[in-house]
């Protein structure tokens, strides 16, 4: 993924808010990149643009060679459905569906037959260690288990990019570590890239690189060790 | 995706039941009320339907409907019979009088006097004895519904239906029930007495003219409308085919009474209430599920998929609500002793179904608007 000169402005004139101010960023295949920075620095806006669910005001974002900003709404949705997986801070599992049904949603969006989607969803749940919870309702699962269901959902259609928004912030330390181990283990295989927005300095070591954002700009891109000693993200946690 | 949409709907039990019940009651009123109205309308021309053998009804020009006739002198009968193309013509009396029952009670009744010879105009189905018994001395027949209800006789053991052999008093004359007949109930829901035309004259001795209608059978091959026009021009009377007379009766009834306004207002109110309640609940349901629609949108579900998901939810609500409503209407229509009756025609079902469908489609449209406008980036907000 190559983002070049990304800008995002909300509003016009004197009251305009600049969420992104010329972000250049590249994510390689098989890489786990973390986006860190204080609240309001533009992390969520950047990940939304990277995932193709928010239009930048200026700049381009190419995923697998496809300029997302050049795609119309429908083909962009189809591109997302095939190539991008999502993990959310609040899990965003549908309480009306079982764990397996939740996991099968991306496949159903891609048009897979229900039976095949359910079979693959059960396999994905097995992969994240929840093979015995396929029929459970999200409300019956712990926070850590729900996040693992969400990870299975992000993986089930074998996307090339997974974007995660604060995947550990709602979990205790032990569960957060388990979730990150899982993401590291299954999230970057087969050349898949993983972009994680986080405040949680305890999970920095799971990343390959960390991009630090401040006031809509990428201020530094470096290794986990460098980020841990930087005052920016550490002070935000 | 439809399965997911329906699961989302059914999981929100409170709102789903609220919408279904709202549409069920709307459907109930929108089908039951028109069905009762149709039943009442049918009663206004019930006599025309009962005397299906008559091709043409001839009446005084001032007569407005089958319920509001003006008596003619018997000489008009000969005039009608003399028109070419008339196979036969017979007199019919339609009036009302008071009847004293065996227990001494007095009840207002309708009276039909039929041709003594042919008995044309008498009900076709007799539950007991034969219509020919009307030719017996003092004979009258009564309609079954009237016999069982308004004409029921009080005895020491309680009420019993008026039956064959019971004696009545009509304008100081004795009448004996010789039969109980099935007949279409009249609009006024009066009990009906049937007797011969000559006996009507005995019951109404003070009346010089008792002929309300002349019933005409056209010769084979005759155009009924053409013959009716000929009768009208040659006799100066009004002559209408049975269909035209039925339509005229119906129109007169609708114009003269405010009943259509009453039924129309009830139906309109139920439509409006159903639309508002269902619309609001569907809107709230979608509002509750907006985050999940946002997740689907972020994951790549396009607008068409989301639109079809919401439509499938709306159709399930509409189908369930309409089915329940019509079911309740049919149960109400078949309750024993229902005094109004119902004519639940395919047209009423189609119109009621269309109204319920339009309510849900408008509700769905409002919800679809919310979802289509939804920014998928909301999924990254807490």
Within this chain, do residues B311 and B341 fall inside the same structural domain, yes or no? yes
* Higher pLDDT, residue B225 or B366: B225
Contact criterion met (CB below 8 Å) for B170 and B210: no
Rounded Cα–Cα distance for residues B94 and B44 (Å): 13
For residue B284, being part of any structural domain is answered with yes
**Chain B neighbors of A56, CB-CB under 8 A:** none
CATH number of the domain where residue A50 is located: 3.40.50.300
Rounded Cα–Cα distance for residues B193 and A167 (Å): 87
Predicted pLDDT of residue A233 = 44
Question: 């509002």: which residue's tokens?
Answer: B287
Within this chain, do residues B217 and B324 fall inside the same structural domain, yes or no? no
Domain count, chain A: 1
The CA distance from B20 to the nearest CA of chain A, in Å, is 19
The CA distance from A154 to the nearest CA of chain B, in Å, is 9
Within this chain, do residues B73 and B145 fall inside the same structural domain, yes or no? yes
- Give the number of beta-carbon pairs within 8 Å between A and B: 81
User: And the tokens for A190?
Assistant: 């087969």
* Rounded average pLDDT over B57-72: 86
**Chain B neighbors of A81, CB-CB under 8 A:** 299-301
Contact criterion met (CB below 8 Å) for B140 and B175: yes
For residue A113, being part of any structural domain is answered with no
For residue A142, being part of any structural domain is answered with no
Contact criterion met (CB below 8 Å) for A156 and A107: yes
Q: Does A71 touch chain B (CB under 8 A)?
A: no
Residue B343 has pLDDT above 80, yes or no: no
**Chain A neighbors of B293, CB-CB under 8 A:** none
Rounded Cα–Cα distance for residues B226 and B85 (Å): 10
Domain boundary among B206, B241, B256: B256
What does the DSSP assignment read for B132-172?
GGGGSTTEEEEEHHHHHTTTPEEETTEEE---TT-EEEETT
For residue A87, being part of any structural domain is answered with yes
Within this chain, do residues B237 and B296 fall inside the same structural domain, yes or no? no
Whole-angstrom CA distances from B212 to A6, A72, A190, B191 are 93, 78, 97, 19
* E-only strand ranges, chain B: 56-59, 86-100, 106-114, 125-128, 139-143, 153-155, 158-160, 167-170, 173-182, 192-196, 213-218, 238-241
For residue A203, being part of any structural domain is answered with yes
Rounded Cα–Cα distance for residues B135 and B37 (Å): 37
Nearest CA in chain B to A157: B299
Domain membership of residue A176 as a residue range: 2-93+159-236
Q: List pLDDT tens digits, range B109-147.
A: 888 999 988 888 887 677 767 777 888 888 888 888 888
Within this chain, do residues B236 and B356 fall inside the same structural domain, yes or no? no
For residue B312, being part of any structural domain is answered with yes
Domain membership of residue B308 as a residue range: 2-43+258-380
For residue A226, being part of any structural domain is answered with yes
**Chain B neighbors of A89, CB-CB under 8 A:** 380, 382
Q: Does A105 touch chain B (CB under 8 A)?
A: yes
Within this chain, do residues B10 and B98 fall inside the same structural domain, yes or no? no
For residue B48, being part of any structural domain is answered with no
Residues 6+ apart with CB under 8 A from A226: A210, A220
Q: List pLDDT tens digits, range B168-206.
A: 888 888 889 888 888 776 666 688 889 999 888 888 877
Q: What percent of chain B has pLDDT over 70?
A: 96
The answer to whether the Cβ–Cβ distance between B297 and A77 falls below 8 Å is yes
Within this chain, do residues B172 and B315 fall inside the same structural domain, yes or no? no
Rounded Cα–Cα distance for residues B175 and B173 (Å): 7
For residue A228, being part of any structural domain is answered with yes
Q: How big is the CA angle at A144 (ends A235 and A32), to the nearest 5 degrees?
A: 55
Domain count, chain B: 2
Domain boundary among B256, B282, B304: B256
The answer to whether the Cβ–Cβ distance between A114 and B298 falls below 8 Å is no
Within this chain, do residues B91 and B17 fall inside the same structural domain, yes or no? no
Pairing of the two strands A209-214 and A193-197: unpaired
Domain boundary among B224, B256, B288: B256
DSSP at B221:
T
Contact criterion met (CB below 8 Å) for A83 and A63: yes
- Rounded to the nearest 10 degrees, what angle do helices B259-288 and B290-299 cross at? 60
Rounded Cα–Cα distance for residues B176 and B195 (Å): 10
**Confidence at B226, pLDDT banded by 50, 70, 90:** very high
Nearest CA in chain A to B295: A92
Backbone φ and ψ of B199, nearest 5°: -75, -30
Nearest CA in chain B to A77: B300
For residue A144, being part of any structural domain is answered with no
Rounded Cα–Cα distance for residues B366 and B286 (Å): 9
Sign of the four-CA dihedral A46, A50, A53, A58: positive
Rounded Cα–Cα distance for residues B335 and B121 (Å): 31
For residue A138, being part of any structural domain is answered with no
Pairing of the two strands A161-165 and A84-87: parallel
Q: Does A40 touch chain B (CB under 8 A)?
A: no
Sign of the four-CA dihedral A195, A201, A204, A206: negative
Within this chain, do residues B83 and B112 fall inside the same structural domain, yes or no? yes
Sign of the four-CA dihedral B370, B373, B376, B379: negative
- 3-class SS of residue B58: strand
For residue B77, being part of any structural domain is answered with yes
**Chain A neighbors of B295, CB-CB under 8 A:** 86, 88, 92, 94
**Confidence at B87, pLDDT banded by 50, 70, 90:** very high
Which candidate in B10, B300, B373 is best for mutational testing of the A interface (most A CBs within 10 A)?
B300
Rounded Cα–Cα distance for residues B368 and B372 (Å): 6
The answer to whether the Cβ–Cβ distance between A96 and B10 falls below 8 Å is yes
Q: Does A199 touch chain B (CB under 8 A)?
A: no
Within this chain, do residues B161 and B265 fall inside the same structural domain, yes or no? no
The CA distance from B314 to the nearest CA of chain A, in Å, is 17
Per-residue pLDDT of chain A (237 residues; tens, 9 = 90+): 888 888 888 888 778 888 888 888 888 888 889 988 888 888 888 888 888 888 888 888 888 888 888 888 888 888 888 889 888 877 888 898 999 999 999 999 988 898 999 998 988 888 888 888 888 888 898 888 888 898 889 888 888 888 988 888 777 777 778 778 877 887 777 888 899 888 878 888 888 888 888 888 888 888 776 655 555 443 333
The CA distance from B374 to the nearest CA of chain A, in Å, is 11
Interface predicted TM-score of the whole assembly (ipTM), two decimals: 0.82
């Amino acid at each position: 993924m190559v983002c070049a000169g990304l800008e995002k402005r909300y509003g016009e004139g004197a009251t305009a808010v600049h969420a992104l101010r010329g972000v250049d960023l590249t994510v390689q295949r098989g890489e786990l990149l973390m986006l860190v920075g204080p609240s309001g620095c533009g992390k969520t806006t950047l990940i939304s643009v990277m995932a193709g669910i928010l239009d930048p005001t200026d700049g381009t974002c190419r995923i697998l060679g496809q300029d997302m900003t050049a795609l119309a709404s429908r083909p962009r949705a189809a591109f997302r459905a095939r190539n991008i997986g999502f993990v959310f801070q609040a899990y965003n599992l549908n309480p009306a569906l079982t764990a397996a049904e939740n996991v099968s949603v991306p496949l159903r969006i891609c048009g897979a037959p229900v039976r095949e989607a359910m079979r693959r969803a059960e396999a994905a749940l097995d992969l994240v260690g929840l093979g015995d919870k396929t029929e459970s309702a999200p409300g019956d699962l712990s926070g850590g288990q729900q996040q693992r269901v969400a990870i299975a959902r992000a993986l089930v259609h074998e996307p090339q990019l997974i974007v995660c928004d604060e995947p550990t912030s709602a979990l205790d330390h032990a569960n957060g570590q388990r979730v990150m181990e899982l993401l590291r283990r299954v999230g970057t295989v087969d050349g898949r890239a993983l972009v994680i927005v986080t405040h949680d300095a305890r999970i920095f070591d799971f990343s390959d690189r960390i991009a630090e954002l401040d006031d809509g700009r990428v201020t530094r891109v470096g290794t986990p060790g460098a980020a841990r000693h930087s005052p920016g993200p550490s002070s935000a946690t | 995706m439809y399965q997911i949409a329906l699961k989302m709907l059914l999981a929100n039990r409170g709102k789903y039941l609220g919408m279904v019940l709202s549409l069920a009651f709307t459907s109930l009123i929108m089908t039951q009320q028109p069905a009762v109205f149709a039943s009442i309308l049918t009663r206004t021309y019930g006599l025309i339907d009962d005397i299906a053998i008559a091709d043409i009804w001839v009446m005084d020009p001032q007569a407005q409907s089958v319920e509001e006739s003006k008596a003619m002198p018997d000489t008009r009968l000969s005039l009608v019979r003399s028109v070419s193309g008339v196979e036969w013509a017979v007199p019919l009396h339609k009036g009302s009088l008071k009847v004293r029952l065996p227990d001494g009670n007095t009840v207002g009744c309708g009276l039909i006097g039929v041709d003594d010879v042919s008995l044309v105009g008498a009900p076709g189905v007799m539950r007991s004895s034969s219509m020919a018994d009307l030719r017996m001395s003092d004979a009258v027949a009564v309609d079954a519904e009237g016999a069982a209800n308004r004409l029921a006789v009080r005895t020491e053991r309680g009420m019993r239906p008026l039956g064959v052999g019971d004696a009545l008093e009509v304008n100081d004359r004795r009448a004996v029930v010789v039969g109980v007949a099935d007949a279409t109930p009249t609009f006024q829901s009066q009990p009906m007495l049937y007797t011969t035309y000559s006996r009507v004259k005995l019951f109404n001795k003070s009346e010089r003219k008792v002929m309300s209608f002349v019933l005409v059978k056209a010769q084979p091959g005759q155009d009924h409308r053409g013959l009716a026009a000929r009768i009208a021009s040659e006799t100066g009377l009004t002559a209408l085919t049975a269909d035209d007379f039925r339509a005229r009766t119906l129109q007169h009834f609708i114009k003269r009474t405010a009943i259509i306004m009453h039924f129309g207002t009830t139906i309109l109110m139920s439509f409006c209430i159903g639309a508002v309640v269902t619309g609001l609940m569907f809107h709230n349901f979608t509002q509750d599920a907006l985050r999940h629609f946002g997740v689907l949108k972020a994951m790549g579900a396009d607008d068409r998929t989301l639109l079809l998901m919401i439509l499938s939810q709306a159709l399930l609500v509409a189908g369930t609500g309409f089915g329940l409503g019509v079911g309740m209407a049919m149960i109400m229509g078949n309750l024993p002793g229902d005094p109004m009756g119902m004519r639940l025609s395919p047209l009423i079902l189609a119109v009621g179904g269309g109204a319920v469908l339009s309510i849900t489609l408008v509700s769905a449209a409002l919800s679809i608007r919310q979802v289509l406008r939804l920014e998928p980036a909301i999924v990254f907000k807490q």
